[in-house]
Chains A and B, each alone.
Chain A
Amino acid sequence: MSRITDLQKNLFGGTTSNARQFGMISTLVAIVVLFQIWTDGLTLTSGNLIAVVSQYSYILILAVGMLMVIVAGHIDLSVGSVAAFTGIVVAKAMQEHSLPWPLGILLGLLVGAAIGAWQGFWVAYIGVPAFIVTLAGMMLFRGANQYIGNADTVPVPEGFRKIGAGFLPEVGPDTGYNNLTLLLGLAACAGVVWREWKARQTRREMNADLAPLWVTGVRLAVMIAVIVFATLRFAGGRVGTSLPISGIILIALVLAYSHYTRNTIGGRHIYAVGGNARAAELSGVKLKRVNFAVMMNMSVLAALAGMIFVARSAASGPQDGLSWELDAIAAVFIGGAAVSGGLGTVSGSIVGGLVMALLNNGLQLQGVGSDMVQIIKGLVLLLAVAFDVYNKSQGRFSIIGTLTRPFRREDPAGTAAPPAPASDADKTKVAG
């Protein structure tokens, strides 16, 4: 038993035990395998994987921000409305005032920042619970979206659509693959190897137990195999497609925020505030500033997600972003964050989000109606968290409990690569 745990730890956990991550990744793999068989191999086709990434990237971007909000002990219900509001403002500005699209993106981010400052102000400096502030924001910005857009759809220019529906250009010799995607895959492999080497070095400097070399080797081989597979799939779609731009934005954000939450002072302060606000304050953490920052950051990411969505659907409409907040929150909790704050990882949330995305798409590929999809997703969320709670109450390894230790160090096996999951080829606009 303990040898299996050890192996599990070594293979999946990077430096420390990481049962939750292991559980989630196994679930993810199981779902991929299940749907791959069920759909006769449709799930892992290039076209489907590309569709999944472009369809779910904005939800995953939201999950990244939401993870930090939840870790700090808050919640943000307004992200869908904020995304929709930003979308309409940017679309209008570009269509009616012929704002160039790069400035449009900048404008969108500024709108997000302004909304975030507004919500952060109420949460951090006035002390209104985030639930209330963002519930108000949810209504407020939904209404504002419809007020500005007259409940109409507003198209966006070609250039802008790139961030949602764009692909990497075809450059260099004709290899039959998208060369830039291949390069990215190569870089990811190098990154994974470098990371692993760094981690071993750090462990050695700490005089901590080193996993046997073969274990590191196996883990690396698995990760590289996943990356290579994903790379070939993303690069090998029909000509003109590649890893979507939105997917690249997502990966960049995941890497950046993973690093931030795990390795920096600012990240640690977020966990400190969520774990025990008073203790954090008495340790010199600027509580208000942290709360303000996480709320503001969430709205900026929501604005970005909104713009990507509008770009993908080529127009901004009054129903954009409906119930996104719920998908993002579900992803974070499936990914192992604690409702009371202080625990959770960016990588966990991404894995949680992918579980949801894959379920959604696999079921839709099978022609399961959206009614059943909702029911299944609801059950998955409930069971995932119930499993955690049950394990904890039984005094076995607590998945949430084990997260306390690895949360700043574990190896985000699920994030380093454009994960191989994915399925979906649906045409609906609203993600789930």
Chain B
Amino acid sequence: MSNFYTDNPDLKHHLGHPLMEKISALKERNYTDADKYDYAPVDFDDAMDSYEKVLEIVGELCGSTISDNAESVDHDGPRVVGGRVQYAAGTQQNLEACRKAGLMGMAMPRRLGGLNFPITPYIMAADIVSRADAGFENLWGLQDCAETIYEFANDDQRERFIPRVCNGETMSMDLTEPDAGSDLQSVMLKATEQPDGTWRLNGVKRFITNGDSDIHLVLARSEDGTKDGRGLSMFIYDKRDGGVTVRRIENKMGIKGSPTCELVFKNAKAELCGSRRLGLIKYVMALMNGARLGIAAQSVGISERAYREALAYAHDRRQFGKAIIEMPAVYEMLAVMKAKLDASRTLLYETARFVDIYKIYEDIARERSLTPDERAEMKHYSKLADALTPLVKGMGSEYCNQNAYDSIQIHGGSGFMKDYACERVYRDARITSIYEGTTQLQVVAAIRHVTTGTYINLMRHYKAQPCKNELKPMRDMLTSLVGLYEEAVTTVTSIKDAAYNDFMARRLVEMAGCIIMSYLLIEDANRNDKFTKSAEVYTKMAQAEVTKHSNFIRNFTPEQLAFYKPE
């Protein structure tokens, strides 16, 4: 039996980042909860010890029950019986184990029954769960939705719903419809207000992950006659009230244990969450950012699994009289896989820490007014989180797919057979760069941080950090990449042509991503020698990528777009 937390010391490295001391103190309001709750930490060491010990529980469940069930869950999948979802037997076991282990409301405050964990260790749990079974991560990770209730619902709703989530009831976010996928402004599910203040929902939702959950967040059109996002509101639907049936579940390529449902709402009773008209423009945006960070964690977890499967096979498999890992063509692939894994993971936790700080300040602001300094800090980290979230979701999920591809490649013919886990990993990986906004849409979200300078400022910040002498050559090389990036940004933005700008956006975003992840890996290597190899491999790759994009942009004129345009 293995433990997916303790067998991976990289996780402890990220959990032990110096910024955690500040995050923990803020989250625990200087450890004042300890007087009220007998499970609250008394100081920073105590808090860190708790994070670690709870992650050990997560690691143990993932290294046993959840990973043991992954294959049968993938095979059996959920079914629809009489309009309800019936999970695969393994899924039921997994959920039961997570409930008993008390892992269902990790980031919720103690007064509502949660563990009051910062986002960072919670995201680490998501990373671990995804390594065991990416499909199960979806069900477990939907506890994120409680965050939306916590942030935007009223006190009464918080007290009624959040403790239920902490006790193990599952959630879903019912956003997409047959004609409203990426374009959520077109949502048509109709919400009608009743004289008693409750609402009735009518219509169809499609592609709803865990659509037969206990508590749903539903995006619906509350304003009759409107056609855009401003006519949409957020609702809470409680399965106990009835009115929603599952018409079918999709037969998917991967994450097969996670039911993707088509839901029919027939006069389903629901209650408004927050204010009318803010459903899409405020709440879904917030919900989406949390969900994107979750998918980034899922991507990293899958990457980890893909890498481990490949590494183990490359050690075992002998050809031409030696283990295949001894061949440069194979060990290069493995080194690059590890570098991509480490790069996306370090960006994941950097983002999680930034999210932590601004969200905790937001929460403190619910209790008292912030000082001007605190407010400034909140805005600073909020902007950074907003900038890094699409970057880690976009690039992390692409790396995850690349690693899953290479994992099979290293397995050779065997990897194409159903006998090895790498084929499941490959299928599970595929969705990460699609849902919660495709990679292309992550570029749309990220590009404004190219043009407004958030990324370049962050690069300058990293550059100013002290580092060991032996890492300096890498840092110096990055300085030249930053120069290429700035030049490319100037070139692209100086041409006022929207189609050309959109066309180049992904290149600029990828350049920023490569450079930022390189800086972060050097920072990891600065704290811990074990990351030096990945830092070396990744910065070499970043150099090639950034130079490639730079050359493309230099040698491209807006007129050449014509070669790409459809006839």
Same complex: no
- Give A residues with C-beta under 8 Å from B: none
* Chain B interfacial positions (CB closer than 8 Å to A): none
